[in-house]
Structure 1
Amino acid sequence: MAAAIQTAGVQQLKSVASSAAEVSGTHTPRIVADVKFAADGKPAPSAVDPTIISAPAVGEDVRKFIELLHTASGKPVADSVMSEDYGTQGKSLRFSLGAVSDTPVTVTRGEAVGDIPQSVLSAGGGAEQKVVSLPTGSQLMTSLDSHSGAMVSTLSPQGHLTVWDAPAAKSAADVGVLASWATAVDAKDPGVLEIRTAPAIEASPSCSLDIFTPYSNSGKVYDTARLVCNQKGSMKLSNYLDKYQGLFIWKTLAVGTANWSGASAVSATPEWSCDGSQLYRGRVITAQIQNDNGSWWNSGAKNGPEMRLNC
């Protein structure tokens, strides 16, 4: 299975300094049907546009968590590990697993203090979904969509949420593999992670990376990323189109790639069918150039501007 994972989110995220007891509070967060979530008078998570600050994530907790996922999946980290700060909702840890030749599996980790509607952890509107209980007391939700792949999520009684998003997973067997990874990680869950951030580092030759605002046309949504350098060389660029599920969870819908030799500028534009009112953004994982003078690379996954589109 070509690796592709993206982690999902929860209703609210506590500060990384919170203890497990503070995260759970008096209510054990659960994955619930959307009807039950709406009955509590809460707005649909996907309808609330977040304010996000992203930066490379560092720290011993981050390193150990990456090792745990690598041991469970056998997949190396495909890009820099990123922290996304959602303000009062807290922080999420996000990164991708897989070899360079794979479609990365994106993993998201966060802390929930409230129930999570199933739609946030669903691979798509027509996805097959199933929620079961694990021996640890955690819930395991699996979701498979014929177009957008699979999402597999675990939510512990303490509110630790780990989401695996795999656009390339297209079969029940693929979901089974993802579920085995997720279950193995849940059995050794480290609890609340201390996530620290580090400044990005860039190398020469000099390049600029732009991710433009998503737009719609003729029933489809598009997003373009462009890499422009001051020298020619072997260039690689991958741009992922993400849809906001709500509660800090994003679903990868499509990827646009460019791989050119002897170029100084490349662009990549993924596309997807536009559906209703949704929030979209582009996300570049790979942006680099190499030549005889050295190399330049974007130091971590970079998110583009969000745009809510109505189709």
Structure 2
Amino acid sequence: MASEIPKTMSGVVIEKPGGVDVLQYKTDLPVPEIKEGEVLVKNEYIGVNYIDTYFRTGLYPPSTGSYPLITGKEAAGTVVASKSPRFSPGDRVVYLSDATYAQYTTVSAARAVGPLPERISSETAAAALLQGLTALTFVREAAGIEQKLGISEGPWTLVHAAAGGTGSLLVQILSVMGAKVIATAGGKEKCELARCSGAQWTVDSKSENVVERVKDITNGKGVDVIFDGVGKATFDADLEIIARKGLIVSFGNASGKVDPLDILRLGAKNVKVMRPVLFGYIVTPEEWERWTTELFELIKSEKVKIKVHEVYPLEEVARAHSDLEGRKTTGKLLLKV
């Protein structure tokens, strides 16, 4: 099998942090060599996530510690070489790992990789994995929201940027769990998309006062749990609309990092603030198995639907990043190798 693996491959390299112009598509990159316990995956579809832009701009330092960097955190494809008893060449897999913006990626078989579930296409799996696991673990483990028997008997919840990839999945999963879901989104079209995902109330963050509308919707109570992937632009409003003993789950920096927090601001309403990271919830094989199984069951049962905004050729990665950062997208962005 190894003889069928080329010496060079296509991929996207970042030599220094910056704008989309630092994303360099190359066709002569060396194919990585696998070590003991690893598999070499030929990628088919690669997920594009906001965290990729953080590594590109330098907000997050390279996982390797230095540049040049191949970024990307998820993909689906086929194993072409293996030094792990868990996988054999020809196995179709979906995984979370570094350096996925490439034709081939080495993946530790002991980490977040698994066989592609039956009835789930590689396109759907790549579109669902990182954002789906993020939404699911944040709802179920970070916020501790369990499924209720009736509809909308659960807590008051609010999801910012609810028409985006992670936002729409948060709305869908919260709706399945029986939460009362308020969604914020920019513009009427995005608000309608959030409503189609299961939000009972929507707030147009472009034309409406979010604080006033949420207080009106909740009769002054506020919301029990806020899921905020926007960051700097929304955090002060979160502190105003959170209910007494409420939880703010701050998980993204789409508008910039949240300013340093004076912890005394939490005392007036006994507010809890979390900054969870998905990878802290899927450390063990048992955790990975639990959450991926639950996610793909939700998808197979069509309780959760995966919306793909666009599939971009790998060489058009800069356009994908521009669209994502320009708030031009609804749903998941994918790269095709």
Q: TM-score range by the shorter chain?
A: under 0.3
TM-score by length of 1: 0.26
Which is higher, the Rg of structure 1 or of structure 2? 2
Judging by fraction of residues, say which structure has more strand: 1
Q: Normalized against structure 2, the TM-score is what?
A: 0.24
The structure with higher relative contact order (CA 8 Å, sep 6+) is: 1
